[in-house]
Structure 1
């Protein structure tokens, strides 16, 4: 199959777009100057992420399919966290011309399969030669006539709850950095996150006052809700689910590890939370985040941290 340089820009585009089935929200897919995506609500929820080789993924740690799944997941989770239904991704793909065509195709297979899980699709994008692999992903979503779930609605007295796994991806990344080959559950969690996409709809139905995707660590992301809402969030570490597979550093990973793409929200005190949502704290008057009564310090992902 050769390299993407040998195939050429338009040959590569043709090979990749043939791997991208279009879901119903996409009225016009790849092949024109722009895609056309239905927006029956009259508004579009939109988000974007950059993934740079060596900073957000390593090819010696993850294969192209997993990188594609992960790139799509982190953007689709942001749309779900707004209480919207993901409809489409736009993907910019930059790579060295020596990159195997088969590698690029598997990357797009991963993007397409993660989209398929939520009824969305890759509707378009761009390709370009570059010195390192970079993905620029934009996700779109439909609010279906409902207000967005934001970070600014938490009120004193609300319950703080989490939906999804925490800490596994950070532990998996640490194992990969140490050159270890297991536990496999942790390695897979880092390579291919599994966001509970249904959490957005669930949270809305439960009367959530604020919601976000936990991408940079629970404490750090709860801090965003606290700042946007003008409140303090108190976390009870004993209420957190710490899987045995995390070992002695489990609580630290659950509090500060990112990239699991769980969801954290605040709910009225009377909300009847189902077992899928784990109540881990409360909203109070004040500022910042406290864990077991002490100010939370350090941890969490920072894209500018060396």
Structure 2
């Protein structure tokens, strides 16, 4: 029960939802940020420290909610956990510095399993140079990892979610949606040998790549007004990008980075490719709002993006997200696919 929480007495998490809970905690318990700092509500917190600003983020991965050891290998659990957290630093354009890990596990968990999880983190950490610097352990009924990552912004300002304007161009890195296709495939049993789209889908879900290089280059370009990582789905995270400024967006299906292989995988798994692209999360790609006047500068920076960047639409003054399908028809509102919901209401569960 939530007490003294502005009318939420007796409310359940499913009644307020994740966004409502975060807003409640921000209003009632959040610290007041100093000038140049960012508090609750973005991909990471930003705190002033001598010589610059520290960027901090924390994330939970719970067995049965975020992963299953039925098809995840322990080292993949660790690698995915670190990549998910590195993605938050990427969305702020921060330089990775270090990470801490809190682990809850049942006493009967093999030590080799825990060692493999941390080995997977170390492998994922190596390209960025981020270092393990501490953490905690305790007994738990389900394997749970809580990672805290620390980054730094020495010069300039970190890129946050707020800041988009009408007319800004929306770009996304990589090919969102593959992780959801991988999950659908793995739930049917992990293939002993995978090739073609099956291998691509499995890799996207089991071993996503945090786009920290892209995030740093985007921030340095000074052309990106707002940025967020795609953890809950294109539509859900785009809504987060737009909500503080009361804006909307128009997206064009014909420009989406959806390959023939993606469509073949969607057809084989019985998933609408548009739903997979727009409504799927855990891809950890970056979604960016780019100033039209600085597009050339952004495109020069994007040449260094390992994952590339594709324009998918534009920001509008009118709130709400609309999608123009390839056949010229429009979908919006309840017709759009929804992303991942942590505390689903009865309405969400009925879908």
Q: TM-score range by the shorter chain?
A: 0.7 to 0.9
User: Which residue of structure 2 aligns with residue 50 of structure 1?
Assistant: 60
SS at match of 1:198: helix
CA contact (8 A) 2:90 2:211 kept: no
SS at match of 1:44: strand
Match of 1:62 among 66, 72, 86: 72
Correspondences of 1:136-151 after superposition (within 5 Å):
136-151=146-161
Task: Measure, in 2, the Cα distance between the counterparts of 1:221 and 1:265.
Answer: 11
- Residues 200-238 of structure 1: CA deviation (Å, up to 9, x unaligned): 122123310000111110111111111023211111111
- Residues 34-56 of structure 1: CA deviation (Å, up to 9, x unaligned): xxxxx664421111111111011
User: Which residue of structure 1 aligns with residue 331 of structure 2?
Assistant: 294
User: Which residue of structure 1 aligns with residue 236 of structure 2?
Assistant: 220
Give the aligned CA root-mean-square deviation in angstroms: 1.6
Alpha carbons of structure 1 residues 252 and 41: separation in structure 2 relative to 1, 3 Å: farther
User: Structure 1 residue 196 and structure 2 residue 228: aligned?
Assistant: no
User: Which residue of structure 2 aligns with residue 75 of structure 1?
Assistant: 85
Task: Measure, in 2, the Cα distance between the counterparts of 1:41 and 1:153.
Answer: 25
Match of 2:291 among 268, 274, 290: 268
CA contact (8 A) 2:278 2:337 kept: no
Task: Measure, in 1, the Cα distance between the counterparts of 2:132 and 2:190.
Answer: 34
Q: Please give the TM-score of this superposition, normalised by the length of structure 2.
A: 0.73
Gaps of 5+ in 1: 1-38
Alpha carbons of structure 1 residues 40 and 121: separation in structure 2 relative to 1, 3 Å: farther
Task: Measure, in 1, the Cα distance between the counterparts of 2:73 and 2:82.
Answer: 15
CA contact (8 A) 1:91 1:137 kept: yes
Task: Measure, in 2, the Cα distance between the counterparts of 1:188 and 1:295.
Answer: 31
User: Which residue of structure 2 aligns with residue 184 of structure 1?
Assistant: 199
Aligned-residue offset at 1:121? 1.0
User: Which residue of structure 1 aligns with residue 224 of structure 2?
Assistant: 208
CA contact (8 A) 1:67 1:191 kept: yes
Gaps of 5+ in 2: 1-48, 325-329
Q: Please give the TM-score of this superposition, normalised by the length of structure 1.
A: 0.83
Aligned-residue offset at 1:301? 1.0
Task: Measure, in 2, the Cα distance between the counterparts of 1:162 and 1:286.
Answer: 21
Runs of 4+ displaced beyond 6 Å: none
Count of aligned pairs = 268
Which one has a larger percent helix, Structure 1 or Structure 2?
2
Aligned-residue offset at 1:180? 5.7
User: Which residue of structure 2 aligns with residue 277 of structure 1?
Assistant: 309
User: Which residue of structure 2 aligns with residue 231 of structure 1?
Assistant: 247
